Amino acid sequence: MTARIGVVTFPGTLDDRDSLRAVRIAGAEPVSLWHRDKDLKQVDAVVLAGGFSYGDYLRAGAISRFSPVMETIIEQAKAGLPVLGICNGFQILTESHLLPGAMLRNNHLHFICREQKLRVENADTAWTADYSAGQEIQVPLKNMDGRYVADERTLDELEAEGRVAFRYLARGEAADGYGNPNGSLRDIAGITNAAGNVVGLMPHPEHAVEPLIGTGRTDGLGFFTSILKKLVNA
């Protein structure tokens, strides 16, 4: 049986089609999910795609957190459903308290759009198993509210428990995709929950899955092949 991966669309979501396409390229069946529908259509995993849900009013992801679909996702994620939050999806995961911390306005107060180099810190999650710890990848980044923050105790816990999933590469030139693009504390680009089934990151792996589209790289495809292999082997 083919694994079914749902992608949620909220008002203002921009990258749901890209995420559905990435799921299809990886070999799973993409399933569109609407924010007002509590039914997840028996999907095996969920992607919260990027964009500006509800126009990012109040705080990015703050209104989407209360959409009917999130009631089901929160409940099932706590029971083990794999969930990936990309950019605005990451913001929604923090607002839903499925991941700790918060996302604030970039420290330079500008929208940023560029290719971004990352280091994989945790290759043991449901969404990162096709990578290796220490591997460097490059995927697009585009955000206005991308600065990850948390109190020192939470940051120390994330570090001690190996729950920092991705970090911005600090060496090299910013023009080449290096450096912290938004002021995220400890150069954190993505994190995971303790169980490893919920992962959030600001950069966009769904824009780097085909050699002829987007960046011309396929560094982001590993997210979608990772979850597919986990579901098939479960």
Residues annotated as part of the active site: 87, 204, 206
Non-local CB neighbours of 9 within 8 Å, separated by 6+ positions: 16, 32, 33, 34, 35, 49
Chain mean position to CA 185 = 17
Write the single-letter amino acid at 101.
Answer: G
| CA–CA dist 41, 23 (Å, integer) | 16
From first CA to last CA, the distance across the chain in angstroms is 12
18 burial type by CB count under 10 A (0-12 exposed, 13-18 middle, 19+ buried): buried
- Rounded to the nearest 5 degrees, what angle is found at the Cα of 204, between the Cα atoms of 203 and 209? 140
- CA 174 vs CA 95, 103, 115, 171, 180: distances in Å: 30, 21, 10, 9, 8
